[in-house]
Every structure is written in C-alpha cells, then in structure tokens.
Amino acid sequence: MKKESKVKLSPILASLCLLGVGLSISGAAAAADANLARNLAATCANCHGTDGHSAGGMDSLAGEARDRLMQKLLAFKSGSRPATIMHQIARGYSDDQLALIAGYLSARPAHE
Amino acid sequence: MLNRRTFMKGLAGAAALGGLAACAGNTPRARPHVVVIGGGYGGATAAKYLRMWSQGAVDVTLIERNPAFVSCPMSNLVVGGYRELADISVSYAALQSKWGVRLITDEATAIDHARRTVSTTANGVLSYDRLVLSPGIDFMTAAVPGLEGNFERLPHAWKAGPQTVLLRQQLQDMPDGGVFAMHVPKSPYRCPPGPYERACVVASYLQRHKPRSKVLVLDANTEIQSKKALFTKAFQSYGKLIEYVPNSDLRSVDAASRSAELEFDRVRADVLNVIPPMRAGSIAVRAGLPLVNGRWVDIDWLTMEAKGVAGVHVLGDALQPAPGMPKSGHMANQHAKLAAAAVLNLLAGEPPSPAPVLTNTCYSFVDDRNAIHVASVHQYDADKRQPMPVEGAGGLSTAASDLEGQYAFAWAKNIWADMLS
C-alpha cells in the first residue's frame, strides 16, 4: 500500500503530466530558488509579523529601505548593534540569505 | 523560472482538467485540496500560509477539535494567576473570514494514506491531494500506573485549556505550607523549558501568597533540560521554596492520596502535577506512519512528508526532531512554513526548496514579568539530510530581565497573529 501511494500522483498532477500541461520550468535549481527570499523572510514572521507587519511590541520590517534593513542585520551579525537576541539569530544566516530577506521585506507595502 | 503567476496559471490549468481528474478514480475537485489536521502552532500556520502563498488557488480545510486556539506557551502564567485563559486564547474566525480556510470543528479519527482520505467523527470522509498532519502529542498514560483516568485529581496541564485552569484552581486551594510536586518525564517531551518555567512561576505565586509552601521538582532526567544555568539561578533566587531532585524515576502514582512512588522515595503532595511521558498524537500512530522508538514520526526534511508515505506532511511536536531542535510552538510554526512551501511546489510539479532554514526562539518566565530566552538557527545539511543547528549562532539570555519579559509578550502577540490573523 505504501509503495503504491509513493508513486501515485494526485489525479490533477497525473492529468497535467499526461497532457503535458507542465509549468514552465527552466531547471530544478532555478525553480526551487524562486521562493527562496519569501521562505527565508517567513522565518522572521513569528516575532516580526507576517510579511514583516508587526502586530505590536516588535519592529515592523515591511517596507523599510533595503539598505537600512541590511545594515541593521549585518550590525546584529557582527555584534556592533546591541541586542538581546537578534545578534544570536542573525549569525545563523549567510550574508546572501540576509540580503534576500532584506530585499523581500523592503518590497512589502509598509501597511497591509 | 516559476513565479507566482505561472504557479497560478498551472493551478488554473488543473482546475480546467477537473473533469479528467475524475477518471483517475478519486473524487473530482476543481482545485487542489489540502486537508490540515490540528489547529495548533503548526497546523494553523500551515493553513494560513497555504492560502496566502497560493493566493487562494489551493483549497484548504482545517480540522480542529477545539472551538478556539489556546496557547501552551504563556499558559504557565495562567497557572501562576498572572493571566486568564482568555488572554491566551485566540479565535479561528480570521482563518475563515480573511484567508478562506474551511474550518471544521471536529475530530479527525483516521487517515487512509493510500486512498488519500481523512475520516472525521461528524463530517464524514474528506478527500485530499495532500495532507498536513499537525497532531501534537498524546500521553503514554499507561506508563505511569495509577495515572489512567485521574487527570482531574492529578492534572498534567500540558495541553492548554481546562487542564490549565484546573491546575490553577488546585494551586489556589493549596494551604500555606503545602507541597506542589511536579514530575518531569524523560526527554524528549513537548516544551523542554516548560516544567522549569512552571516551577518558577508557581514559586513566585507561593512566595507572595503562601510563603511556607514548597515546589518540589521531580525530574526523571539527570539535569535541567533547557536554559540550565539560568533556571538554576532562578531556582536559587527562590531559596528553599524550590527543591530540584534529578534522576527521579516515577514508578506509580496514587490519586486518592496524591502521592508519587519514586525509585527510592515516596512523596505525598497537596498538588501533584504529573507531566506524563508522551509521543506523537495518536492519529499519527493509528495511521501507521513510521515512528522512531515507537514515539515520534520519522520525516523527510525537505518536504516534511512521513518517510515512505507520499502526500502526508507532518509537523510540530509529533516529529522525531532534527539535532538540537526543540519541541516548541515556535518551531512548529517554522515547520509549517517549510511544509506549506513544499506542498505548493509539489502541487505545481516542482521540487521542494533544497535549502530550508528554520529558527527557534523560546522565552520562559522566571516570575510574573522577567523572562529568559534560548534561540537557535537550523540550516539544512544536504549530506545529513536534515537541518543542523548553525554553530556560533543562537544562544541564551545573559540574565533574566523585564525587557525580555516584554519581548515574550510581544512574541506571543506576533506569533498568534502570524498563525491566526
């Protein structure tokens, strides 16, 4: 049963495959990366609100200038900006990942 | 390159093929349908993010037995009398009204992963294209003789709700000079710092109102399981009010006398709070999902599907955790986003993201207003096929503080909104 379910596509996907109604994918890596910034920024939302819209008590990050966000994140990462927790969290991300996060959040409207 | 528009287009194509889909032998549906079981930190987040990230192109049904969300994090403040249950409860209404999640207040009773169906008590059988299972934990009550059927007299208060209120009531009814004993099961269990936070918050209440009393922490583990140095310091600040006893193997309990039989000792208490050993929510066990040590669901970390069971994505406390990954509400929220992203990719015929990242942040109160934290960041390791904590990142508070207490409340407000608003 398990084996069967493993190879079974959902009917919709099976239909898509049969009829060749595939999606335009240039390659697995590119496709996988399409939502990388969104997914990385979602790791911030627990504290800073969905898409950076804070529900209160934490900084709202949506719509903040990209460079300013990046500057802050790097300052947390280096320890030059005092923090209770952000210095510990920022160190968990590569600079490239922080840049993607800053880019994504800065592109959100400041207000929902 | 796939973007949101082509994803939408793909799903629209799928909708057009709804009639053909029926030929494949399943219930015809115009649009992909994801069923989410469990509306806790994991499941509620998954339901919202599936709707949000698909821009409504995927139908989502959330099956949750409780009429409102009640948070386990912050619930020790209710036990201590510093918050009411209403303060830690949130309605599911916005998931329906704002995000278009179909909410079913019911119990999911069985999963048939070969037929891709979920059975419920009152709403019949639901078909799904993909299932997100966030069942939380269930107690292995039989492991503690005398406990079965006695949760009214010996509350666990390890699932927030009526049990939280019951433990609060028993603490209030306790006489000055009484003993509040709690038993901590062997790791892993839900919320590693939770028992120690509870000890502190209860001690803080007793210090003010019943100072001749005692909190006895009977820990099956060899030491404090989270924030050890910080909790050790907090325990010391309460002087003789808190007594911590490691290596306390619980052999049995007697509900009538509220006593605990330990390997080398017998303890009689005025309030006996036994946190039972636990494992993945029983629906995961009944569904025949692969379990590690018969307790926790073994998953593929790129999709969060149970190993060997396509289409069943499992989240939260029910999982066999990756190294250094706690069973926390915050982590369940992060699992949910990883799973939601993977589900949408898979529905669109795409591979899941090859490099997911998860974080954890966990605040604990040491009294009514001062808090401490532990944080970690977990990056996927392709060789190890699981997320690994980033060395040099994460860490602990330097000391308990009022500022972190304020952040803890802000954390709760924001994560509840991230799940439910």
Residue A64 has a pLDDT of: 97
Alpha helices in B287-401 (DSSP H): 329-347
Provide the CB-side half-sphere exposure for B199 (13 A, CA).
Answer: 33
Contact B297, B138 (CB under 8 A): no
Does A107 contact chain B (CB < 8 Å)? no
Give A-chain residues touching B345 at CB under 8 angstroms: 31-32, 35
Residue B6 has a pLDDT of: 47
pLDDT > 50? residue B23? no
Mean pLDDT of B16-41: 67
Residue A60 has a pLDDT of: 97
Q: Which of A8, A46, A84 sits opposite B310 (nearest CB)?
A: A8
Quote the ipTM score: 0.92
Mean pLDDT of B196-205: 98
Structure tokens at A14: 């099976």
pLDDT > 80? residue A28? no
- pLDDT tier for residue B253 given thresholds of 50, 70 and 90: very high
Residue A34 has a pLDDT of: 83
pLDDT > 60? residue B3? no
Chain A residue with minimum CA distance to B130: A10
Does B357 contact chain A (CB < 8 Å)? yes
Chain segment B238-247, per-residue pLDDT in tens: 999 999 999 9
pLDDT > 50? residue B106? yes
- pLDDT tier for residue B28 given thresholds of 50, 70 and 90: low
Give B-chain residues touching A39 at CB under 8 angstroms: 337-338, 341, 353, 356-357
Q: What DSSP line would sit under A61-75, residue for residue?
A: -TT--HHHHHHHHHH
Residue, of B9 and B268, whose pLDDT is higher: B268
From residue B381, give the alpha-carbon distance in Å to each of A69, A101, B319: 27, 20, 18
DSSP letter, residue B112: E
- Say whether B24 and A11 touch across the interface (CB within 8 A): yes
Comparing B12-21, B168-177, B197-206, which segment has the lowest mean pLDDT?
A: B12-21
pLDDT > 80? residue B21? no
Mean pLDDT of B45-74: 98
Chain segment B261-291, per-residue pLDDT in tens: 999 899 999 999 999 999 999 999 999 999 9
Give B-chain residues touching A49 at CB under 8 angstroms: 414, 417-418
pLDDT > 70? residue A42? yes
Residue B29 has a pLDDT of: 59
Mean pLDDT of B60-73: 98
pLDDT > 70? residue A2? no
Mean pLDDT of B37-65: 98
Q: What DSSP line would sit under A11-39, residue for residue?
A: HHHHHHHHHT-----S-HHHHHHTTHHHH
- pLDDT tier for residue B230 given thresholds of 50, 70 and 90: very high
What is the CATH architecture of A31-106?
A: Orthogonal Bundle (1.10)
Share of chain B above pLDDT 90, in %: 92
- Say whether A25 and B361 touch across the interface (CB within 8 A): no
Give B-chain residues touching A21 at CB under 8 angstroms: 10, 13, 17
Residue A111 has a pLDDT of: 78
- Say whether A35 and B345 touch across the interface (CB within 8 A): yes
CA distance B414 to B421: 9
pLDDT > 70? residue B10? no
Does B291 contact chain A (CB < 8 Å)? no
CA distance A95 to A99: 6
CA distance B131 to B133: 6
Give B-chain residues touching A104 at CB under 8 angstroms: none
CA distance A79 to A91: 9
Does B403 contact chain A (CB < 8 Å)? yes
Backbone angles phi, psi at B361, to 5 degrees: -135, 130
Domain ranges of chain A: 31-106
Domains of chain B and any CATH numbers: 143-278 (3.50.50.60)
CA distance B42 to B330: 9
pLDDT > 80? residue B16? no
